[in-house]
Amino acid sequence: MNEARVVKMEKGPGLHKKIFDKKKSVFRKYREMYLGDLSFAGAVYYESVILLFTQIPGSLGFFLRKKFFAALFKRAGKGVIFGKNLTIRHPQKISLGSNVIIDDNCLIDAKGETNEGISIGDNVTIGRNSSLVCKNGNIKIGSSVNITTNVNMICGEDGEIALGNNIDIGSFSHLSGGTYNYSKADMLPSAQGRISKGVVLKDLVWVGAGVIIIDGVTIGEKSMIGAGAVVTKDIPPNSVAVGIPAKVIKERR
C-alpha cells in the first residue's frame, strides 16, 4: 500500500501561508484580508454598509450606495456611482475622483502593509466583473480612463501599475505588475516571492480586447495594442503593436 505523502505548506501556493497560518485567529486573517487598519468604529460601519446595501438592485440600490459607500473610502469625489455586489478591501487606502463609475461585481482591493493603495482620477469607468488588486503594491489611474468588462490589474510587492489620462482598455485584458521568482524548481514560484517592476501606460493609449501586459513594460503615448497581443517589451510612442509577443507594425501619425 502506498504511504500518504505529506506536502510541506512552504512549497505550496504562496497565499496558503497566510490562509492556513495556525498562529492567526480567523478574525485576524479576515481583518488582514478585508479591513486593514480600520478603527473599530470604521470596521462596524464597513460591515453594516456591506451587509445592508451591497445587493440592493435598481435605482434604490444606486441611491443608497451613493449615499453610504463614499464614507468607506479615503476620498470619494462627487457623482461616484457604485454598482451591485462590489467587493471592497482596505477601503481606507482607496481614493476616488469625481464621476467615477464602478459597475457590478467588481473587486477593488488595496491590500498591503506598506503600500499607498489605489488612486483613481476623474471621469473613470470600471466595467462589470473587473478587478484592481494590490498585493502590497500600488495602482494609480489618471482621468478619463475607460476600463471595460472583465479586466484584471494585479500589482505585486512594492510595484506600481500607473495609467495616464484618456485611456481605453478592452475587455478581458490583464495587466501584471509583478514577476514571480522561479529559481527553485522544488517550490512553486508563488511561494518564492515576487519582484515587481510595474506597468506604465502613458496618455492616449488604446488597448484592445484580451491583451496581456507583462511586468516591466511601458507603453508610450498615443500607442495602440491590437486585440489578443502579449506585450513583453516597451512599446514606443505613436506605435501600433500586435501579436505574440507584440511587435510594432507601424507608426501612428
Give the integer Cα–Cα distance in Å for 106 and 83.
Answer: 8
Q: How far is CA 8 from the centre of its chain?
A: 30
CB contact set of 230 (below 8 Å; sequence gap of 6+): 211, 212, 214, 243, 244, 245, 246
Give the CATH number, domain containing residue 182.
Answer: 2.160.10.10
Task: Give the 3-state secondary structure of residue 169.
Answer: strand
Tell whether 16 is covered by a domain: no
The alpha-carbon radius of gyration of the chain (Å, integer) is 20
* Enclosing domain of residue 244: 25-251
Distance, in Å, from the CA atom of 140 to the CA atom of 181, rounded to the nearest integer, reads 25
What is the number of other CB atoms lying within 10 angstroms of the CB of residue 65? Answer: 22
Tell me, yes or no, whether 8 lies in a domain.
Answer: no
Residue 51 lies in a domain: yes
Residue 182: inside a domain = yes
The pLDDT value given to residue 8: 55
pLDDT, residue 210, reads: 98
| The predicted structure's pLDDT at residue 180 | 72
The one-digit pLDDT tens for each residue of the chain (253 residues) are: 344 444 455 666 655 666 566 777 777 777 777 788 888 888 899 999 999 999 999 999 999 999 999 999 999 999 999 999 999 999 999 999 999 999 999 999 999 888 999 999 999 999 999 999 998 999 999 999 999 999 999 998 888 999 999 999 999 999 998 777 677 777 777 776 777 889 999 999 999 999 999 999 999 999 999 999 999 999 999 999 999 999 999 998 7
Place of cell 462627487: 78
CB 200 within 8 A of CB 237: no
Q: Is 31 exposed, middle or buried (0-12, 13-18, 19+ CB in 10 A)?
A: middle
* β-bridge mates for residue 97, sequence order: none
Residue 130 lies in a domain: yes
Number of domains in the chain: 1
Q: In this structure, is residue 1 part of a structural domain?
A: no
In a domain, 86, yes or no: yes
Residue 143: how many CB atoms within 10 A of its CB?
18
How far does the chain reach from its first CA to its final CA, in angstroms?
A: 71
Residue 4 lies in a domain: no
pLDDT at residue 13 in the model: 61
What are the C-alpha distances in Å from 112 to residues 6, 28, 135, 218? 31, 14, 6, 24
Three-state SS at 244: coil
